[in-house]
Amino acid sequence: MGEYFTVSYGGTFGFRRQDLMDQLKAEIALVLHVHSLDNFYFSCRTCYKFSVGFVLNREKRYSTKEIKMEISILSTSGGKQLATLTVDPNSTLKELKTQIHRLKSHLYPDRQEFRQEPRGKGLDESKTVAALGLKDKSKLYLKDLGPQIAWKTVFLTEYAGPLFVYAWIYTRPWLFYGEDAASQPMSQVSHIAAICWVFHYSKRILETLFVHRFSHATMPVRNLFRNCAYYWVFAAYVAYHVNHPLYTAPCQIQSYIALGFWTVCELGNFSIHWLLRNLRPPGSKERRIPRPTKDPLTLLFNLVSCPNYTYEVGGWVAFTAMTQCIPAGLFAFAGFYQMVIWAIGKHRSYKKDFKDYPRGRKAIIPFVL
């Protein structure tokens, strides 16, 4: 049943209307503990006052004393019964995870994922038992995600590795190319490439610490080894070739044009990260439709869903052109391949989750993919 509400909001001019609406919708939904608001409208009453109205579809709330029910928790692998929980319809999946943790101490909440089918999609832990349509004696499947590690730790380890590996090879050529290497002159491009590389990974570390607002606190620990191997080995492979005494740099004009392109891509990548940060209120897991701001580098959002990946790939293509080095090109290609897969997935979820998602955006390459 929809209920109709109007509220007044005092705001200052300077917002783009769509930004304001998205922000208001999200904030009101947060205060009312509902997922989203329908039929939201906006009108400008006076210079400084806006009026908004919306239909609120509230989930039916039950008295917690009213009903108690038993839910069977089965393992996704083999369907083995793990526990039977006594819950009420208002219990969230997050609360169920805490109950399971009390029964099985190794299954801490971040390690658990609930599903309605053994191979189904992971359920949102903020959903209540009633919202999922579960009744007395219903079944829920639990996937053990394995030991977890904090996302920030993963990112910092992943990015600190390539930074130090590259800097180590660059500053100590005699360790890798023999005693004579230290006395041989290094090309200017090798110096510029080292600065670009160190800058890029320092930026990523700082963004991980101070910019990104992640929605997941942890990830499976096994991913750490895979991701670190990828970044660390590639860093050594690229650094070994670009700093080699026999390395031949391309002509200066090519390197400088590529350096200019690389700089724009780094700035663009940062602009998108900053925009995404401002899209999510602190401490929330909210996802909104990203739209360009006044920053011209965010205009790429008109064309693709993941412009940060577009800029990232552009940066590595520019690095490859600047150094004219095959290992750098292979690294750019590997990153591109991975980011295409992620961008397609994110693009699909945007289209699925937001009915008003802008048509015409591609995933990562404007007009193409």
Residue 55's beta-bridge partner residues?
4, 38
Say if CB 312 and CB 331 are below 8 A apart. Answer: no
Does position 214 interact with ligand NAP (CB under 6 A)? The reply is: yes
**Residues 6 or more apart in contact with residue 191 via CB below 8 angstroms:** none
Nearest to 86 by CA among 106, 111, 68, 74: 68
- The residue (of 118 and 220) whose beta carbon lies closer to ligand NAP is 220
Is residue 112 a contact partner of residue 142, using CB atoms and an 8 Å limit? Answer: yes
Beta strand 112-115 pairing with 81-87: unpaired
* First and final C-alpha spacing in the chain: 41
Shortest separation between residue 311's beta carbon and ligand NAP, angstroms: 7
Q: Which stretch binds ligand NAP (CB under 6 A): 135-143, 206-214, 240-248, 354-362?
A: 206-214
Least separation in angstroms between CB 275 and ligand NAP = 9
List the beta strands (DSSP E) in 109-151: 112-115, 138-144, 148-150
Expressed in percent and rounded to 5, the helix, strand and coil fractions of the chain are 50, 15, 35
Binding map of ligand NAP across residues 323-352, x = CB under 6 A, - = no contact: ------------x--xx--x----------
Nearer to ligand NAP (CB atom), residue 143 or residue 287: 287
List the structure tokens of 129: 């038992």
Residue whose CB is less far from ligand NAP, 104 or 351: 351
Q: Where are the alpha helices (DSSP H) in 141-187?
A: 151-171, 173-177
User: Judged by CB under 6 A, which of 212, 244, 351, 362 binds ligand NAP?
Assistant: 212
Residue 319: its H or E element: helix 307-323
Kindly state whether residue 279 participates in binding ligand NAP, applying the rule CB under 6 A.
yes
Question: Rule CB under 6 A: which of 151-170 touch ligand NAP?
Answer: none
| 275 near ligand NAP, rule: CB under 6 A | no
Closest to ligand NAP by CB, 288 vs 347, is: 288
* Residue 215 within binding range of ligand NAP, rule CB under 6 A: yes
DSSP 46: S
Nearest to ligand NAP of 67, 264 (CB atom)? 264
The site that binds ligand NAP (CB under 6 A) totals a number of residues, namely 20
**Largest interatomic CA distance in the chain:** 82
| Shortest Cβ 201–ligand NAP spacing (Å) | 10
Out of 193, 258, 276, 325, point to the residue binding ligand NAP (CB under 6 A). Answer: 276
Residues forming contacts to ligand NAP in the complex (CB under 6 A) are 212-216, 269, 276, 279-280, 287-288, 290, 306, 308-309, 312, 335, 338-339, 342
